[in-house]
């Protein structure tokens, strides 16, 4: 195997307790008029208002847009950009969970390049750099602070859609785990399980032939030497911190492990991509309106079981990182962790109707970018079997095929 790797990352990534206090100094080097994108709840939060005060103390003009909504409806991102034009920002700052950060990315694209969000769906559609962007996550899950992705929900398509471009990786990310200390247990679990799924899918993704130019043809190039490093680091951090962070919300060390795990998972899947668990979650989420993290984590053990015949060496390495004897223990251990923190065990538990399994299988197969990244092929009959097993909770049935 020839050693091949690629990483795309923020120009500067600052991680640590209290590091949000650096925001004023960071922002003053990037712009003079800051649009701060957040949601309604955070806009009234004391920590948030202190960050705004920091920006003003550093001499920046600030406008707060508290209109971010879960899953970033296309209309909300469009309206936000239209409203911001009068203010004429030269810097966008996203503060909040993944939706706030994704909305900030989308608004930065629209303010820089014009048009509509729909113009940028897919890979490499953003025509050039966007205005400086700072990301400050307050949850530990999506890894959006480190990725080239913004996910939006399009009511016309009734599915989530993605804008994928290296140009929307934040210029600077400030990751302060203290901002997650008040995150409730259920949200901590869903976000952290999303991050662990990102790390596992990036680590077990298809490895492509590293022809020169691969990273210019694809935003997500598949498993590689450098993404593997970040993915394994993330798996270890999340394994050690996630359950504790859910059970002991004030545990600063556990919170730091989970946030660093989410960020390093973002660095991994931002180039390696995700795979079948994410593909299946798109239609499942559209039907059940359940949290993305709960859906992908519910599916992850079943997808791992399907992929097990071709990911033995990766399962061995994961076993080593999380302290298990060998590959056979990994999938049951991941499933048990998700169970302990309250992730639904089956697609039935997520509220999916059994009569929709054929449709989910067909839709999942249609999400080619993710299915092509899965290490073991999933033609429709096999996809239907996988979805059925995930519906009925038949994890061991998959390992016999």
Cβ neighbours, 10 Å, residue 50:
12
Print pLDDT tens along the chain (401 aa): 689 999 999 999 999 999 999 999 999 999 999 999 999 999 999 999 999 999 999 999 999 999 999 999 999 999 999 999 999 999 999 999 999 999 999 999 999 999 999 999 999 999 999 999 999 999 999 999 999 999 999 888 877 889 999 999 999 999 999 999 999 999 999 999 999 999 999 999 999 999 999 999 999 999 999 999 999 999 999 999 999 999 999 999 999 999 999 999 999 999 999 999 999 999 999 899 999 999 999 999 999 999 999 999 999 999 999 999 999 999 999 999 999 999 999 999 999 999 999 999 999 999 999 999 999 999 999 999 999 999 999 998 887 65
Furthest C-alpha separation in the chain = 64
- Report how far residue 136's alpha carbon sits from residue 144's, in angstroms, rounded to the nearest whole number: 10
Q: Residue 206's closest CA among 378, 24, 381, 376? A: 376
**For residue 133, which of 179, 168, 81, 103 has the smallest C-alpha distance?**
168
Indicate the length of the chain as a whole number.
401
The three-state DSSP-derived secondary structure of 200-222 is HHHHCCCECCCCCCHHHHCCCCE
pLDDT at residue 84 in the model: 98
DSSP per residue over 369-382, as a string?
Answer: HHHTTSSS---HHH
pLDDT given at position 2: 82
Give pLDDT, residue 401.
53
Q: How far apart are CA 381 and CA 387, in angstroms?
A: 10
The H or E element that residue 63 is part of is strand 61-68
| Joined tokens for residue 127 | 């025509």
Which residues have CB under 8 Å from 328's CB, separation 6+? none
pLDDT of residue 400: 60
Write the CB contacts of 38 (distance below 8 Å, at least 6 apart in sequence). 48, 64, 65, 66, 68, 94, 95, 96, 100
Q: Rounded to an integer, what distance in angstroms lies between the CA atom of residue 287 and that of residue 253?
A: 37
> What single-letter DSSP state applies at residue 208?
P
């Amino acid at each position: 195997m020839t050693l091949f790797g690629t990483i795309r990352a923020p120009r500067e990534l600052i991680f640590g307790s209290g590091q949000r206090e650096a925001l004023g100094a960071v922002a003053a080097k990037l712009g003079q008029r800051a649009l701060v994108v957040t949601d309604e709840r955070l806009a009234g939060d004391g920590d948030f208002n202190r960050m705004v005060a920091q920006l003003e103390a550093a001499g920046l003009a600030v406008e707060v847009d508290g209109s971010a909504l879960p899953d970033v409806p296309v209309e909300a991102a469009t309206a936000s950009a239209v409203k911001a034009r009068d203010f004429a920002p030269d810097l966008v700052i996203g503060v909040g969970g993944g939706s706030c950060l994704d909305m900030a990315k989308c608004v930065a694209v629209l303010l820089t390049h014009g048009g509509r969000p729909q113009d940028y769906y897919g890979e490499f559609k953003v025509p050039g750099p966007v205005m400086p962007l700072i990301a400050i996550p307050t949850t530990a899950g999506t890894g959006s602070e480190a990725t080239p992705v913004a996910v939006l929900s399009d009511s016309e398509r009734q599915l989530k859609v993605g804008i994928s471009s290296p140009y929307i990786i934040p210029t600077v990310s400030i990751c302060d785990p203290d901002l997650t200390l008040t995150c409730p247990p259920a949200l901590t679990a869903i976000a952290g399980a999303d991050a662990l799924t990102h790390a596992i899918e990036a680590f077990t993704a298809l490895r492509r032939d590293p022809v020169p130019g691969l990273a210019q043809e694809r935003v997500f190039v598949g498993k590689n030497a450098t993404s593997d490093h970040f993915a394994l680091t993330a798996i270890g951090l999340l394994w050690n911190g996630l359950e504790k962070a859910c059970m002991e919300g004030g545990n600063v060390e556990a919170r730091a492990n989970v946030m660093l795990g989410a960020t390093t998972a973002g660095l991994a899947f931002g180039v390696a991509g995700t795979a079948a668990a994410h593909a299946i979650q798109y239609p499942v989420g559209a039907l059940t309106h359940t949290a993305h993290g709960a859906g992908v984590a519910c599916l992850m053990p079943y997808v791992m079981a399907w992929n097990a015949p071709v990911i033995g060496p990766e399962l061995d390495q994961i076993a080593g990182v999380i302290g298990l004897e060998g590959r056979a223990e990994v999938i049951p251990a991941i499933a048990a962790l998700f169970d302990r923190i309250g992730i639904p065990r089956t697609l039935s538990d997520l509220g999916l109707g059994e009569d929709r399994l054929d449709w989910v299988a067909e839709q999942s197969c249609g999400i080619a970018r993710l299915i092509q990244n899965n290490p073991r092929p999933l033609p429709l009959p096999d996809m239907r079997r996988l979805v059925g097993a995930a519906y009925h909770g038949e994890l061991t049935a998959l390992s016999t095929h």
